[in-house]
């Protein structure tokens, strides 16, 4: 009997080939053969919410949105493919990948709160600094339901009345711009004006990323 791990094989295959999938228009053979039929089978799509399982860099998700889908949620087991999704979105929207990641982070806070995690977020603090200090506890709670979770770690230091240093540690790369958006999104959640700047970066050889967060509750 085969002992191959198909999940890992597929994940590794797409992680390796991710860059070849980015496209703003049809380029691969299946974009001309199978995909048009598949997209036709999804009609009528206008106004519907779509879950695109194995969305890759989002080619079909974008096409379904173009055809009028109200919302498209994409998931993919290849982390490299989801990074390429950011690249593809930046081509389509004429925004930089950093701007896309930042906008995603900001949107994500509001989206997660609406989609069933609002109470968990409420329990994690009533002010921006309190919430930031509790982020690791929050992810630890999430980890009870998702045992394979590989959460990031956040630490607050130099806490003053209206400022703090936020330290971000992660096994992953490339997600740092998202932190700027996430913290701004939290500012909106707590009706607090936020100014966040990165003060040290792993890209420049630092051990972890660090941000200065200046905030003022309205």
Site of interaction with ligand HEM (CB under 6 A): 109, 112, 117, 120-121, 135, 138-139, 142, 146, 149-152, 170-172, 175, 178-179, 182, 186
Dist. CA 18–CA 206, nearest whole Å? 28
Beta-sheet pairing, 163-169 with 153-157: antiparallel
Shortest distance, position 153 Cβ to ligand HEM, whole Å: 8
Q: Which residue, 50 or 138, has its beta carbon nearer to ligand HEM?
A: 138
20/203 with CB nearer ligand HEM: 203
Residue 118 DSSP SS3: helix
The least distance separating ligand HEM from the CB of residue 150, rounded to whole angstroms, comes to: 4
Q: How many Cα atoms within 13 Å fall on the side-chain side of residue 186?
A: 26
Shortest distance, position 65 Cβ to ligand HEM, whole Å: 24
CB of 17 to ligand HEM, least distance (A): 21
The least CB distance from residue 66 to ligand HEM, in Å, is 29
Backbone angles phi, psi at 139, to 5 degrees: -65, -35
Residue placing its CB nearer to ligand HEM in the complex, 85 or 138: 138
Of 70 and 142, nearer to ligand HEM (C-beta) is 142
Which of 87, 79, 61 is closest to 10 using CA atoms?
79
Q: Whose structure tokens read 């989206």? A: 111
99 exposure class (CB count in 10 Å sphere: 0-12, 13-18, 19+): middle
Q: Report in angstroms how near the CB of residue 41 gets to ligand HEM at its nearest.
A: 31
Which DSSP string do the residues of 123-169 spell out, in sequence order?
Answer: TT-SSHHHHHHTHHHHHHHHHHH-TT----EEEEES--SSEEEEEEE
Q: Closer CB to ligand HEM, residue 91 or residue 120? A: 120
């Amino acid at each position: 009997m085969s002992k191959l791990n198909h999940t890992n094989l597929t994940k590794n295959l797409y992680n390796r080939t991710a860059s070849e999938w980015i496209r703003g228009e049809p380029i691969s053979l299946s974009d001309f053969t199978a995909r048009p039929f598949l997209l036709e089978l999804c009609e009528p799509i206008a106004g519907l919410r779509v879950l695109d399982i194995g969305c890759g860099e989002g080619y079909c998700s974008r096409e379904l949105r173009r055809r009028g889908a109200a919302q498209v949620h994409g998931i993919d087991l290849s982390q490299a493919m989801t990074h390429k999704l950011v690249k593809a979105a930046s081509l389509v929207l004429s925004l930089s990948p950093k701007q896309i990641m930042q906008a995603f982070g900001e949107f994500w806070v509001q989206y997660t709160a609406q989609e069933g995690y609002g109470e968990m977020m409420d329990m994690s603090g009533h002010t921006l600094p309190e919430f930031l200090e509790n982020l690791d506890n929050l992810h630890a709670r999430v980890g009870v339901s998702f045992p394979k979770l590989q959460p990031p770690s956040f630490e607050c230091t130099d806490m003053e009345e209206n400022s703090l240093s936020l330290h971000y540690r992660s096994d992953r790369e490339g997600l740092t711009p998202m932190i700027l958006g996430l913290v701004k999104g939290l500012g909106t959640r707590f009706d607090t004006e936020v100014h966040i700047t990165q003060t040290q970066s792993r890209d420049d050889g630092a051990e972890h990323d660090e941000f200065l967060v200046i905030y003022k509750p309205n």
